[in-house]
Amino acid sequence: MDTIDEVLTRMDQIVEECRSRQSRVGYFAILYRQVTRRVRDGILAGEFEDNPRMERLDVLFAGRFIEAYEQWSVGSVTTESWLVAFEASKDAKHLVLQHLFLGINAHINLDLGIAASKTMTGKELLGIQGDFNQINSLLAELVDGVKVNVSVVSPIFGWLVPLAKGRDEMLLNFSIQVARNGAWKYAGEYHADSNKDFQVSDRDKNIAALGQKLISPGKFLAFLIKIVCFVEWKSVSKTMDQLDAVAKKTIG
């Protein structure tokens, strides 16, 4: 893929594949497609510091999710971070937000730094920091919108926060800003190191471990999650439709 329009065409296909297979991977795919559409519109409107470069960044960034999805779909080896997210998608016991955060965890914490570095091959990485932050802002805006409107797909999720107040839970404390800062630091490390394979392997193990914390919260929160899961929408395709409506409303 060389253009953002090609990315969007493939994203549309993935969303429909997930819908027809009732795959929960579609939850992340729905939201990420909307972010990609927003980036496309921003490029056409000349919103970014370097719009052609932003298109390259977006193609490389999205390409990592698409490649991981395609590898997993045919049983090939993919990164551990994405494997955690994809394998969790088979299980109905996880919240919609858990599935979303697992995808965001792999995509921002691992993929974004690599994509930023590759976009700036042979150049100073600092030059892309402004647009790097901009794409993260779009993701954060979308995630915040989903949290605010999460009652659409998870009617009693709001109960979790006050009930689990003060507990050190990765699920409740997940922050796009923290992820962004870590991703930028990693981008610098990856960019400066000639041993790219080691950088990916080492980072991947750490991010996969964070993913496991999102899947397996403490006993108290796990009990609450069981209750919330019971009243969430059971139809994957219906949940995808609800998330699509929320995404379009948030940053459409």
Say yes or no to pLDDT of 167 above 80: no
Most confident of 152-156, 202-206, 244-248: 202-206
**Average pLDDT, stretch 44-65?**
96
Q: Can you give the residue range of the structural domain that contains 43? A: 4-251
Cα dist from 203 to 43, 99, 133, whole Å:
30, 21, 20
pLDDT of residue 224: 61
pLDDT of residue 55: 97
In this structure, how many other beta carbons lie within 10 angstroms of the beta carbon of residue 239? 22
pLDDT of residue 3: 97
**Average pLDDT, stretch 85-104?**
89
pLDDT band for position 130 (cuts 50, 70, 90):
very high
Cα dist from 215 to 53, 87, 116, 122, 221, whole Å:
35, 11, 28, 38, 11
Count of structural domains, the chain: 1
pLDDT of residue 222: 61
Say yes or no to pLDDT of 11 above 90: yes
Say yes or no to pLDDT of 66 above 70: yes
81-85, 159-163, 234-238: least confidently modelled range: 159-163
Q: Are 126 and 133 in contact (CB under 8 A)?
A: no
Q: Are 205 and 77 in contact (CB under 8 A)?
A: no
**Average pLDDT, stretch 189-199?**
96
pLDDT of residue 177: 73
